[in-house]
A and B are shown apart, each in its own frame.
Chain A
Amino acid sequence: RKEVEQDPGPFNVPEGATVAFNCTYSNSASQSFFWYRQDCRKEPKLLMSVYSSGNEDGRFTAQLNRASQYISLLIRDSKLSDSATYLCVVILYGQNFVFGPGTRLSVLP
C-alpha cells in the first residue's frame, strides 16, 4: 500500500459547485498534514495546513480523520481559477514530507 493515496480525478465540476477530495495515508503515526495546489507546469504552492480540529480559509475547509487515516479538502463555490492539481502532504516528525500523487480539478464555465 502506498504511503499517501489520492483519487487522481479529473474532477470536472461547474462553476459554483462544491467539491471535496480525500487523501488517505498509511502510517498512523503521521503528525502533520498540508494541502498544496499545483497549476499546470508550475511549482506547488502551500494552500493550507490541516489541523486536528479542522480549519477553514475562505471557501476552503480542511479536515483530518485520524481514526480512518484520511484528510479532506472541501472547496465551496468553485471558481474557474480553482482549476489545478491538489496535492496532499503527510509528515512524520523527523521524517521527510510525503507528497500524494495529486487530484486534478477542472472547474467548467
Chain B
Amino acid sequence: DGGITQSPKYLFRKEGQNVTLSCEQNLNHDAMYWYRQDPGQGLRLIYYSQIVNDFQKGDIAEGYSVSREKKESFPLTVTSAQKNPTAFYLCASSPTRDQPQHFGDGTRLSIL
C-alpha cells in the first residue's frame, strides 16, 4: 500500500536536546512538507521541499531543520533553539506543489 509513514507516534524531548522526526513516503511524490499544529489551531508550515536536495523555509522555520537527500525521505529535526516544541507534527506529500497533499498520521512531541 502506498502512503506516508511518520515515526515515532509519540516523542518526548528533554531540555537542550535535539530530536528528529522521521517521514517516509512511497507515493513517488516530488513535494514534501512539514506542518505544526497546536491544540485547537490550524496547520502552520515549517519547511517544504519540491525536489531532492532542495528545501525552503515555511512560515515558522526558526528552531527547526530538515534534509532531503532522498526523494522518499524528509526528516525534521527539532533543535534546542525551538523553545516551545510541544505540538502535533504532520508530514505531507503531493505529486507537485499545486496538487492535493496527503498526510502521514503525525508525531506528538512533548517536553519532559
Confirm or deny: A43 has a beta carbon within 8 angstroms of a beta carbon on chain B. yes
Q: How many residues from A make CB contacts under 8 Å with B?
A: 21
Partner of B42, one of A41, A91, A96, A102: A102
> Which of A13-21, A44-52, A62-70, A75-83 participates in binding chain B?
A44-52
Residues of chain A within 8 A (CB-CB) of B97 are 94-96
Interface hub of B48, B58, B100, B104 (most chain A Cβ within 10 A)? B100
Contacts A42-B105, A43-B103, A44-B103 given; indicate if A101 touches B41 (C-beta within 8 A).
yes
A-B contacts at CB below 8 angstroms, number: 41
Check A44 against B90 for contact (C-beta < 8 Å): yes
Check B42 against A32 for contact (C-beta < 8 Å): no
Name the distance in Å between A35's Cβ and chain B's nearest Cβ.
Answer: 10
Name the distance in Å between B30's Cβ and chain A's nearest Cβ.
Answer: 14
Name the distance in Å between A92's Cβ and chain B's nearest Cβ.
Answer: 9
Check A45 against B42 for contact (C-beta < 8 Å): no
Contacts A44-B90, A101-B42 given; indicate if A94 touches B98 (C-beta within 8 A).
yes
Residues of chain A within 8 A (CB-CB) of B20 are none
Partner of A49, one of B33, B43, B100, B104: B100
A73 to B48, CA, bound (A): 28
Q: Convert B32-51 into 0s and 1s, putting 1 for each residue whose CB lies closer than 8 angstroms to a CB of A.
A: 01010000011101001000
Confirm or deny: B101 has a beta carbon within 8 angstroms of a beta carbon on chain A. yes
Residues of chain B within 8 A (CB-CB) of A97 are 33, 45, 101
26 contacts between A and B (CB under 8 A): A32-B98, A34-B100, A41-B88, A42-B105, A43-B105, A43-B106, A44-B103, A45-B103, A46-B100, A46-B101, A46-B102, A49-B100, A91-B98, A93-B98, A94-B97, A95-B97, A96-B33, A96-B45, A96-B58, A96-B97, A97-B33, A97-B45, A97-B101, A100-B42, A101-B42, A102-B42
Question: Which B residues are within 8 Å of any A CB, using their own CB?
Answer: 33, 35, 41-43, 45, 48, 58, 88, 90, 97-98, 100-106
Question: Which A residues are within 8 Å of any B CB, using their own CB?
Answer: 31-32, 34, 41-46, 49, 87, 91, 93-97, 99-102
